Amino acid sequence: MLQLQGTWRYHLKSEFDKPYFRALSKFVYSQYSEQICYPPIDQLFNAFNSCSFEAVRVVIIGQDPYHGKGQANGLCFSVNKGMAYPPSLRNIFKELELDMKLSIPESGDLTKWAHQGVFLLNSTLSVRSNQAGSHQKQGWENFTDQVIITLSEQKTDLIFLLWGSIAKNKKKLIDMSKHVILESGHPSPLSANRGYWFGNNHFSKTNALLSIKGKSEIKWGSF
């Protein structure tokens, strides 16, 4: 069965014996044995392994992994080093450049964000090659919703960045008396070109909020 490691496993242990998670595990293993799927199975929980429960300060919620060869690495919006930037990631970096006056990073691997406490969670953690959304509604959403609920209940002063309608639908899972939510359109070209993404200033706003709480700012650049 699929397993989490570290303290995440302790905080989410009640999920692993639920029927939906057992069915999800069976589905995922069958898909990876019969199909080409992404990210590599040992990176399914990379978002968790790269950012411990205790370290989480900022949460960014994506949809599902990139479905092209060699792209997905288990962190939402992130691609492996050496891969071309997908359109959404390119627009994220363009907004970073506008907002923080930082050069666009040379790599699209967002691991350095994760290591600073930015939890990069996709709603669905796996996908079949070249078939966007192919692992949706199999149980991943149940699990990742519970992850958000657990973070909301057990931590304080988190900053949730909700980009686009799917992420915004998670708002109901978050206790807004304890946490801050910043919302905008999705960084995809369709949304960004309509004026719903650029100028949201989420990177500088996040750092300002962290500073108010006496926490160190995220170094969004310098990849």
Which residues are marked as active site? Answer: 64
pLDDT for residue 222: 66
Strand 127-128 to 37-38 pairing:
antiparallel
Q: What is the pLDDT of residue 1?
A: 66
Q: Residues 6 or more apart from 37 whose CB is under 8 A from it?
A: 31, 126, 127, 128, 129, 135
What is the pLDDT at residue 183?
Answer: 97
- pTM for the full predicted model: 0.96
How high is the pLDDT of residue 33? 97
Distance between CA 127 and CA 32 in Å, rounded? Answer: 9
b/e sequence 12-43, b meaning 16+ C-beta within 10 Å: beebeeeeebeebeebbeebbeeeebbbeeeb
Residue 138 is predicted with a pLDDT of 97
Low-confidence ranges of the chain (pLDDT < 50): none
* Residue 81 tokens, joined: 């080093």
DSSP string covering 52-92: -TTT--EEEEESS---STTTB-SSTT-B-TTSPPPHHHHHH
How high is the pLDDT of residue 223? 61
What is the predicted pLDDT for the residue at 41?
96
